């Protein structure tokens, strides 16, 4: 039995001015005090519970854990500042002195308090609740001493915490602003190589979730922590060929749950290399298809990530196919249960897909039609992240994990046809950086003498909606305003005749399908609304009407 000793809380609380939920323990365990952070014992399940609670990858470093908490507006501390305790036994606590929670309460809009374990709840009610005026909710301890509660049971018990935590809405950023944001993150101390590692971790996390779902279908045990599989697809792909569906997925699960990663030559390919390494470390059969040897890549940090991944893949006996011939490419993709598309990223702006990637995309789509599940890294290859225009060929993903922020091309009315379910890979805590960028964009421009330029700011933007804009001069802005006013007046005069004309145009196009087909052939970027039948042109200046609600589950 360890001897009792006087212990003083050794590290700082985690919070900022956006924190809305406070989670309190009693006092860090000896292992946590050694590691210098909360819940650091390798058998403590707190961080696994948090990861599964929000369906995110497990945070592995203290920096990632802090980011994860702050992104969900969670503050973390302990009730006691000092006490006398035997090892990690809360029941032995004597001479307790509480922390001053006003340090957090005065700085952040905390509305809910949760205590992990009986001792923490009792200490909070005795020392802190009379001052804060907020009653706490007791959560079960995640300590290994509470072995009677399994991980799934703990996750269910912590659901009230997830409900109280108010994660910020994912921002919508133009591609140039995403680049600015990445640079700001790097300047704040998180290098691009770390962001790439986190991006690959997110992609691997979603691939593991899919493999676990397949293994659940076939009755096979899973090899990794269970994660929730919700909202598997947002909408059907209207132009899909018939798929093997559930039977194909079941067959592929029986074929060892093979994962094939398609890696391009840029940093999007680097995300794929990281994902392949993590999947191989998790014991999954992984193959990588690439156009160049890792040492021949020029993009950084993709080159270093690929070299590191290659070493790990070779240790696990994984296959790496460099510029495979068409037969080998087809055979490998047809055997895949999950295909990760890491060919082209947000830098793709349209035009055409160069060889050999065009053949890779076509083969991947054929494999998807045979039952494979495609996960796109950041954006489906062949789709412009900025405009949403798709070239031929273009990946048709079942799920897209886009990093940091939503992209305009993924939020267009018909993006689901290529992207499937879109998830945000939260690889950094960006709210403060977005606010700073917005302030910079809204700051008054200065002239050569350093004084404010009467022409105004560089372009008004708001936090969380940092949309790329080019500022114009006063004359140009005034002309635009006049033109807008004239357009509004014209619409008011002609609104009685305009809608019948639109309806007639739609009817004429529908009645003459050859004309529609001819128009589609002439336009390599066929506008999706020409294939739609709801009468709404998303590129017009007409305010959109509410979209029809599905009367049934299209995947039922």
Reported as a pLDDT band with limits 50, 70 and 90, residue 479 is: very low
Is the CB of residue 261 less than 8 Å from the CB of residue 288? yes
Q: What integer pLDDT is reported at residue 167 of this predicted model?
A: 65
- Assign domain 177-220+243-425 to its CATH superfamily: YjeF N-terminal domain (3.40.50.10260)
Q: What integer pLDDT is reported at residue 489 of this predicted model?
A: 46
DSSP string, 150-185: -HHHHHHHTHHHHHH--PPPPPB--HHHHHHHHHHH
Burial of 541 (0-12, 13-18, 19+ CB in 10 A): exposed
Question: How many residues appear in the chain?
Answer: 556
Helix (H/G/I), strand (E/B), else coil: 420: coil
Q: Who's near 240: CB < 8 A, 6+ residues apart?
A: 369, 396
β-pairing, 112-116 vs 89-98, is: unpaired
Q: Tell me: the pLDDT tens digits for 278-302?
A: 999 999 999 999 999 999 999 999 9
**How is residue 524 annotated by DSSP?**
S
Q: What integer pLDDT is reported at residue 216 of this predicted model?
A: 76
Q: Retrieve residue 82's tokens.
A: 């000092």
Mean of all residue pLDDT scores within the chain:
80
Q: Which residue has the higher pLDDT, 440 or 64?
A: 64
Q: How far is it, in rounded angstroms, from Cα 407 to Cα 386?
A: 6
Is 534 a residue whose pLDDT tops 80?
no
β-pairing, 373-377 vs 399-403, is: parallel
Helix (H/G/I), strand (E/B), else coil: 14: strand
Q: Retrieve residue 69's tokens.
A: 């908490």
Reported as a pLDDT band with limits 50, 70 and 90, residue 451 is: low
Burial of 234 (0-12, 13-18, 19+ CB in 10 A): middle
Is the CB of residue 339 less than 8 Å from the CB of residue 396? no
Is the CB of residue 110 less than 8 Å from the CB of residue 75? yes
Q: What integer pLDDT is reported at residue 554 of this predicted model?
A: 39
The mean pLDDT value for 511-529 works out to 41
Q: Which residue has the higher pLDDT, 535 or 39?
A: 39
Helix (H/G/I), strand (E/B), else coil: 272: helix
**How is residue 93 annotated by DSSP?**
E
Q: What integer pLDDT is reported at residue 454 of this predicted model?
A: 52
| Helix (H) or strand (E) run with residue 192 in it | helix 192-218
Q: What integer pLDDT is reported at residue 149 of this predicted model?
A: 94
The mean pLDDT value for 376-398 works out to 94
Q: What integer pLDDT is reported at residue 526 of this predicted model?
A: 39
Q: What are phi and psi of 511, to 5 degrees?
A: -75, -15
Helix (H/G/I), strand (E/B), else coil: 367: helix
Closest among 24, 269, 330 to 9, alpha carbons compared = 24
Q: Tell me: the pLDDT tens digits for 21-61?
A: 999 999 999 999 999 999 999 999 999 999 999 999 999 99
Is the CB of residue 211 less than 8 Å from the CB of residue 338? yes
Reported as a pLDDT band with limits 50, 70 and 90, residue 343 is: very high
Q: What integer pLDDT is reported at residue 521 of this predicted model?
A: 41
Reported as a pLDDT band with limits 50, 70 and 90, residue 335 is: very high
| Helix (H) or strand (E) run with residue 331 in it | helix 326-334
Is the CB of residue 253 less than 8 Å from the CB of residue 337? yes
Q: Which residue has the higher pLDDT, 227 or 243?
A: 243
Residue 147, CA distances (Å) to 29, 142, 143, 220, 324 in order = 17, 8, 8, 25, 49
Q: What integer pLDDT is reported at residue 243 of this predicted model?
A: 54
Q: Lowest mean pLDDT of 92-106, 252-266, 395-409, 447-461, name the range.
A: 447-461
Q: What are phi and psi of 230, to 5 degrees?
A: -120, 155
Domain ranges of the chain: 4-164, 177-220+243-425
- Assign domain 4-164 to its CATH superfamily: Uracil-DNA glycosylase-like domain (3.40.470.10)
Q: Lowest mean pLDDT of 271-285, 297-311, 358-372, 517-531, name the range.
A: 517-531
Helix (H/G/I), strand (E/B), else coil: 117: coil
Q: Retrieve residue 301's tokens.
A: 């940090």
Q: How far is it, in rounded angstroms, from Cα 227 to Cα 36?
A: 28
Is the CB of residue 273 less than 8 Å from the CB of residue 302? yes
Is 455 a residue whose pLDDT tops 80?
no
Q: Which residue has the higher pLDDT, 356 or 453?
A: 356
Q: How far is it, in rounded angstroms, from Cα 290 to Cα 297?
A: 10
Closest among 99, 90, 75 to 15, alpha carbons compared = 75
Reported as a pLDDT band with limits 50, 70 and 90, residue 251 is: very low
Is 75 a residue whose pLDDT tops 80?
yes
> What's the whole-model pTM score?
0.75
The mean pLDDT value for 308-316 works out to 95
Q: Which residue has the higher pLDDT, 449 or 162?
A: 162
Q: In the block, which residue shows the tokens 């305010």?
A: 543
- Percentage of residues in the chain having pLDDT higher than 90: 63
Is the CB of residue 287 less than 8 Å from the CB of residue 261? yes
Q: Retrieve residue 538's tokens.
A: 């998303």
Reported as a pLDDT band with limits 50, 70 and 90, residue 490 is: very low
Q: How far is it, in rounded angstroms, from Cα 165 to Cα 68?
A: 12
Helix (H/G/I), strand (E/B), else coil: 159: helix
Q: How far is it, in rounded angstroms, from Cα 406 to Cα 404?
A: 7
The mean pLDDT value for 59-73 works out to 96
Q: How far is it, in rounded angstroms, from Cα 260 to Cα 257?
A: 10
Is 494 a residue whose pLDDT tops 80?
no
DSSP string, 423-441: EEE--S--HHHHHHHHHHH
Q: Retrieve residue 345's tokens.
A: 């990223």
Q: What are phi and psi of 90, to 5 degrees?
A: -65, -30
Burial of 99 (0-12, 13-18, 19+ CB in 10 A): buried
Q: What integer pLDDT is reported at residue 449 of this predicted model?
A: 57
Q: What integer pLDDT is reported at residue 487 of this predicted model?
A: 44
Residue 221 half-sphere exposure, CB side, CA atoms within 13 Å? 2
Q: In what order do the strands lie in the sheet with 373-377?
A: 319-322, 286-290, 259-263, 338-342, 373-377, 399-403, 421-425
Q: Retrieve residue 340's tokens.
A: 């990760």
Q: Which residue has the higher pLDDT, 501 or 347?
A: 347
């Amino acid at each position: 039995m360890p001897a009792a000793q006087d212990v003083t809380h050794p590290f700082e609380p985690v919070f900022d001015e956006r924190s809305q939920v406070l989670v309190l323990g009693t006092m860090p365990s000896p292992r946590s005090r050694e590691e210098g952070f909360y819940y650091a014992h390798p058998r403590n399940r707190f961080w696994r519970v948090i990861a599964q609670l929000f369906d995110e990858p497990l945070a592995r470093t203290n920096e990632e854990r802090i980011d994860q908490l702050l992104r969900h507006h969670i503050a973390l501390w302990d009730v006691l500042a000092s006490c006398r305790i035997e090892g990690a036994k809360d029941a032995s606590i004597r001479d307790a002195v509480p922390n001053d929670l006003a340090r957090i309460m005065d700085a952040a809009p905390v509305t809910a308090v949760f205590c992990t374990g009986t001792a923490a709840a009792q200490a909070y009610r005795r020392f802190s609740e009379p001052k804060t005026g907020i009653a706490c909710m007791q959560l079960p301890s995640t300590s290994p001493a509470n072995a009677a509660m399994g991980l799934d049971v703990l996750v269910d018990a912590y659901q009230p915490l997830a409900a109280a935590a108010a994660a910020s809405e994912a921002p919508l950023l133009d591609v140039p602003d995403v680049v600015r944001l990445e640079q700001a993150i790097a300047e704040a101390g998180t290098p691009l190589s770390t962001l790439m590692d986190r991006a690959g971790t997110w992609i691997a996390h979603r691939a593991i979730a899919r493999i676990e779902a397949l293994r659940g279908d076939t009755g096979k045990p899973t090899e990794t922590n269970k994660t929730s599989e919700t909202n598997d697809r947002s909408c059907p792909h209207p132009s899909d060929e018939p798929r093997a569906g559930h039977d194909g997925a079941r067959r592929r699960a029986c074929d060892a749950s093979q994962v094939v990663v398609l890696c391009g030559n840029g940093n999007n390919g680097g995300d794929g290399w990281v994902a392949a390494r993590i999947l191989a470390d998790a014991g999954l059969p992984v193959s990588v298809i690439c156009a160049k040897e890792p040492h021949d890549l020029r993009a950084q940090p993709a080159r270093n990530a690929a070299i590191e991944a290659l070493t790990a893949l070779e240790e696990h006996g994984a296959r790496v196919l460099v510029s495979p011939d068409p037969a080998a490419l087809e055979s490998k993709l047809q055997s895949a249960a999950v295909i990760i598309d890491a060919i082209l990223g947000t830098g793709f702006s349209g035009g055409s897909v160069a060889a050999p990637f065009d053949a890779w995309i076509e083969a991947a789509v054929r494999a998807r039609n045979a039952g494979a599940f495609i996960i796109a890294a950041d954006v489906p290859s062949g789709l412009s992240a900025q405009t949403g225009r798709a070239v031929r060929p273009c990946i048709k993903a079942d799920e897209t994990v886009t990093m940091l922020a939503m992209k305009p091309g993924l939020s267009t009315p018909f993006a689901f046809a290529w992207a499937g379910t879109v998830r945000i890979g939260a690889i950094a805590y960006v709210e403060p950086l977005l606010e700073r960028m917005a302030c910079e964009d809204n700051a008054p421009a200065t002239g050569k003498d350093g004084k404010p330029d009467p022409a105004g700011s560089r372009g008004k933007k708001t936090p969380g909606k940092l949309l790329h804009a080019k500022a114009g001069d006063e004359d140009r802005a005034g002309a635009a305003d006049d033109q807008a006013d004239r357009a509004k007046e014209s619409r008011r005069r002609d609104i009685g005749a305009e809608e019948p004309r639109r309806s007639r145009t739609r009817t004429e196009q529908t009645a003459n399908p050859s004309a529609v087909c001819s128009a589609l052939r002439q336009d390599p970027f066929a506008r999706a609304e020409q294939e739609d039948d709801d009468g709404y042109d998303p590129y017009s200046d007409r305010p959109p009407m509410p979209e029809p609600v599905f009367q049934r589950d299209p995947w039922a």
